[in-house]
Structure 1
Amino acid sequence: MQDLATEFEAERGRLLAVAHRMLGSRSEAEDAVQETWLRYAGALADPDARAEIRDLSAWLTTICARICLDVLRSARVRREAYPGQWLPEPVVGPLDGGPPTGGYAPDPAERAVRTDQVGTALRVMLERLAPEQRLALVLHDVFAVPFARVADVLGTSEVAARQLASRARRAVTAPDAPRHTADPAEQRRVLAAFVAATESGELDPLLRVLAPDVVLIGDSGGHFPTARRPVVGADTVGRFTLGLFGRTGRYAQRTRTRPVLVDGVLGLHMETTHSDGRPIRLVTAFAVDGGRITGIFNQLNPEKLADLPPLGDDDRWPPRW
């Protein structure tokens, strides 16, 4: 059993990355990996059975993927009853991208999750996919699992698995999908302009940094008031933003802020206070394309931010870059 545990621990970080990308939830990903371990230990306690497995990594990936597929199918039903809009749990880390510090991403498995993040925008688009499409796209395009094995996971043909992945690619690159193509330098420039425009309290400077079709999505899990549908369009998103964080906005004078990486992309970790006195933690991710913001994703569901470290007295609005 000790040998089994050692072999499994060598694969845990990668399995967690696979499960997290497919499920969008750290807690659900951890549960899926733990269930993979239980099945592994149960099936392979017999040395003869263990000897029949030629590629342990591939076998574990297949088991984990099947577990995730079951979770995705049930999650679609659960999320239909979710209060308001749903966003995945953010993976938050320090700006330098180095070893996690200060409570951000504290363990090696979490670092494995962080290494393949390409922004919240893609993770949000993955939520549009049917479970089978999402699994085919993530396994093949992100983790380079051959379509033959993807087909085995899905219980379908290799041709059908290729078609599922192809449809998924078209969905995540649809015209209405928030586009993110900016490198770190452009992200920093655009977000600095966004913060400066917001702090000015003037709409026109903000419109210059927002794409005409920008979308804003907020997830509070029903704990705080948020728009129940995406806010779309530069003018609407701009006015909404100024109402919260502009010079005379609701939270402008009582907000702490620290620039962070959110799903590998520049974002903000904020803390403020609701009008009823309750503390609010907020992680905002951005999608940037062509020098403008195409997506703003506000995660303020406390159940999805429980592990964030507190901000300090020096973390003031506007943020220091």
Structure 2
Amino acid sequence: MNPEHEHAERFTHLRPLLFTIAYEILGAATEADDVLQDSYLRWADVDLSEVQDTKAYLAQLVTRQSLNALRAQARRREEYIGPWLPEPVLLDAADASTDVVLAESVSMAMMVVLETLTPDERAVFVLREVFGFEHAEIASAIGKSTTAVRQISHRAREHVQARRKRFEPVDPKTSLELTAQFFVTASTGDIDGLMSMLAPDVVWTADSDGKVSAARRPVSGADSVARLVVGLIRLGGPDGRAEPAFYNGAPALVLYLGDNLEGVVSVEIVDGKITNFYAMRNPEKLAGVTVSRAIGR
């Protein structure tokens, strides 16, 4: 096989895995795509006869490039206006639900937890807990000793477990029906009806970076969130509409005002109640949300 074609074939075969690694480290799909493009250029110059394990080699390459990108954007994150949410990724619900571990790992709730880790902790957690790479392989990827990686892995796992209680995955069809029913009820202004579908401590978090109108602090509590949603729907008026979709393996609604994309609201459901709304309103992060991307091992 032509070396150029073999480089492309190996990379393309692993692209869903590589994209998922980059996305989970960066929390941004567009930046993950950029990392993959840069990684491929580096990969194209590699002598394949010296590569013993293509999957491990490419995973390490993409991890290093992702960490470089994450550290480079640290200042931009510090100057961000309001809550910072991961960029939503459009997924086919059937694809995500075929692998419960992977579907959970890219859920908006998990992505938000990953944001609380240091860059090294984040990379180690993703490579070890999600994809099962050996500590020695991860050490090579992040430039740490195997002993240090074991310590980082333990610390990151405890951190995530403390903030993310595992629960049984909700049937995609049922969860999307509940989400759609919530917004239909909201259009009637029925506050009590809305509150019956919300967990008492439900939280609405919106990401706008100050570029469009949105709550700059999370809104908590069933009554407050219900009234917020009713107010938003009234503000949209007759030109507003919501279309169901699946982002990050969970139900979501894509919001339009006329022909303009206004936002994506991802929903987290636990025990039949909505516990979190993640509203992406930042126009820059909405630029690529309608592009379907593959994830995988």
TM-score computed with the length of structure 2 as normaliser: 0.84
Which residue of 2 is the match for residue 135 of structure 1? 123
* Superposed displacement of residue 97, structure 1: 5.8
Determine the C-alpha separation between the residues in 2 that align with 1:308 and 1:28: 13
Within the candidate set 284, 299, 308, 2:280 is matched to: 299
* Superposed displacement of residue 271, structure 1: 0.1
* Superposed displacement of residue 150, structure 1: 1.2
Determine the C-alpha separation between the residues in 1 that align with 2:152 and 2:89: 27
CA contact (8 A) 1:271 1:282 kept: yes
Alignment partner of 1:233 is 2:221: yes
Determine the C-alpha separation between the residues in 2 that align with 1:13 and 1:178: 25
Determine the C-alpha separation between the residues in 1 that align with 2:126 and 2:198: 30
Count, aligned residues: 283
Within the candidate set 166, 175, 191, 1:187 is matched to: 175
Within the candidate set 80, 83, 92, 1:82 is matched to: 80
Work out which structure has the larger RCO, using CA pairs closer than 8 Å and 6 or more positions apart in sequence: 2
Distance 1:204 1:115, change over 3 A: closer
Distance 1:165 1:183, change over 3 A: farther
Determine the C-alpha separation between the residues in 2 that align with 1:250 and 1:224: 14
CA contact (8 A) 1:210 1:294 kept: yes
Determine the C-alpha separation between the residues in 1 that align with 2:82 and 2:114: 18
Determine the C-alpha separation between the residues in 1 that align with 2:199 and 2:162: 16
Which residue of 2 is the match for residue 37 of structure 1? 40
Alignment partner of 1:258 is 2:243: yes
Q: Aligned runs of 1:5-20 on 2, under 5 Å?
A: 5-20=8-23
Provide, for residues 266-285 of structure 1, a one-character-per-residue CA deviation record: whole Å limited to 9, x for no partner. Answer: 11111016xxxx94521110
- After superposing the two structures, state which structure 1 stretch, 208-217 or 189-198, moved more: 189-198
Distance 1:197 1:3, change over 3 A: closer
* Superposed displacement of residue 174, structure 1: 3.4
Task: Report SS of the residue matched to 1:92.
Answer: coil
Which residue of 2 is the match for residue 104 of structure 1? none
* Superposed displacement of residue 117, structure 1: 6.1
Determine the C-alpha separation between the residues in 1 that align with 2:166 and 2:131: 23
CA contact (8 A) 1:53 1:59 kept: yes
CA contact (8 A) 1:179 1:288 kept: no
* Superposed displacement of residue 305, structure 1: 2.0
Provide, for residues 44-86 of structure 1, a one-character-per-residue CA deviation record: whole Å limited to 9, x for no partner. Answer: 2xxxxx3232112211111111111111222232211122222
Alignment partner of 1:290 is 2:293: no
Distance 1:297 1:33, change over 3 A: same
CA contact (8 A) 2:30 2:288 kept: no
CA contact (8 A) 1:121 1:178 kept: no
Within the candidate set 243, 252, 276, 1:267 is matched to: 252
Matched letter for residue 82 of structure 2: G
Which residue of 1 is the match for residue 6 of structure 2? 3
Q: Which has the higher helix share?
A: 2
Within the candidate set 171, 186, 189, 2:159 is matched to: 171
Q: Aligned runs of 1:44-193 on 2, under 5 Å?
A: 44=47, 50-93=48-91, 118-174=106-162, 181-193=169-181
Task: Report SS of the residue matched to 2:196.
Answer: helix
- Structure 2 spans left out of the alignment, 5+ residues: 97-101, 291-297
Distance 1:174 1:227, change over 3 A: farther
Distance 1:169 1:199, change over 3 A: farther
CA contact (8 A) 1:217 1:297 kept: yes
Alignment RMSD, CA only? 2.8
Provide, for residues 183-229 of structure 1, a one-character-per-residue CA deviation record: whole Å limited to 9, x for no partner. Answer: 22441343244224312313222222111221111112322111212
TM-score computed with the length of structure 1 as normaliser: 0.78
Matched letter for residue 303 of structure 1: E
CA contact (8 A) 1:178 1:214 kept: no
Task: Report SS of the residue matched to 1:222.
Answer: coil
- After superposing the two structures, state which structure 1 stretch, 259-268 or 227-236, moved more: 227-236
Task: Report SS of the residue matched to 2:245.
Answer: strand
* Identity percentage of aligned residues: 35
CA contact (8 A) 2:254 2:263 kept: yes
- After superposing the two structures, state which structure 1 stretch, 164-173 or 219-228, moved more: 164-173
